[in-house]
A = this chain, B = another copy of it.
Amino acid sequence: MEPRNKTTRVDNAYDRLKEEILSSQLPPGFQAPEPDIADRLGMSRTPVREALIRLEADGLVELIPRRGARILGLSPQDFRDIYELLLVLEPVAAGRLASQPLDTVCVEKLESILDAMEEASATGDLEAWIEADDMFHLTLARMSGNSRLAGYLESLVNQVRRGRLVLLRLMKAPVDGVEVHRELLSAILSRDVDAAREAARNHREEAHTALAAIFENFRLPQI
């Protein structure tokens, strides 16, 4: 086991709130003042406040003076803006990875994630599929070695996570896309920088096109 990094209440509050937001337990639009949240988490306002500031920096909540913290949703514009960035940032991560020596442990981890994704795809477990998909992309980002890039990608992926789930549920078509991920991984493993970049870009572009169409078709103002 790891050295058990001491967990502070701020971290605790941050993790729990983030988990609840990403899992839609706290839906977008939900709003509560600091004291209420503190009571619910069983701690004082101080650590909750710091956790909320971090969540605001993550783009997950909005702190409205005298109104409390409000869980943010995604407008179509937000969705476009985020994908515009994913579309250029993920190829950078993929390209970097393809041009540097790889950690075998990480590669194994990626492959096991793909296996999990395949299983989720087979059983139709959308939530598990998205979980695996995000994990795959997050691991790639972290492996890239550019910590700022990894941080941005993590934040962006978190912001669209719940939205993707909503849109995928509206889309009746089954999700697979596992082979696209395998292509990306094999391009990286074979050290083909351009192919890796292309694969990363195409993957996000296709996903974006499909999801944006649903967003459009259902005329959703916010998800």
Contacts and interface: CB of A to CB of B under 8 A. Distances in A.
Interface of A: 49-50, 53-54, 57, 59, 81-82, 84-85, 88-89, 92, 96, 146-149, 152, 156
A57 B54 contact: yes
Nearest to A8: B65
Contact of A81 (B85, B88, B147, B156): B147
Interface of A is mostly: helix
A81 B50 contact: no
Contact of A88 (B50, B89, B148): B89
Nearest to A82: B148
A186 to B, nearest CB: 24
A84 B156 contact: no
How many subunits of this chain does the assembly comprise? 2
B85 A149 contact: yes
Contact of A146 (B50, B85, B147, B149): B85
Nearest to A159: B148
Given A57-B57, A81-B146, 4 more contacts: A50-B50, A82-B148, A84-B146, A85-B149
A148 B50 contact: no
Contacts of A148: 59, 81-82, 85, 156
22 contacts: A49-B50, A53-B53, A53-B54, A54-B57, A57-B57, A81-B146, A81-B147, A81-B148, A81-B149, A82-B148, A84-B92, A84-B146, A84-B149, A85-B92, A85-B148, A85-B149, A85-B152, A88-B88, A88-B89, A88-B92, A148-B156, A152-B152
Contacts of A96: 84
A81 B57 CA distance: 21
Contacts of A146: 81, 84-85
Contacts of A92: 84-85, 88
Contacts of A149: 81, 84-85
Contacts of A147: 81
A27 to B, nearest CB: 22
Contacts of A85: 89, 92, 146, 148-149, 152
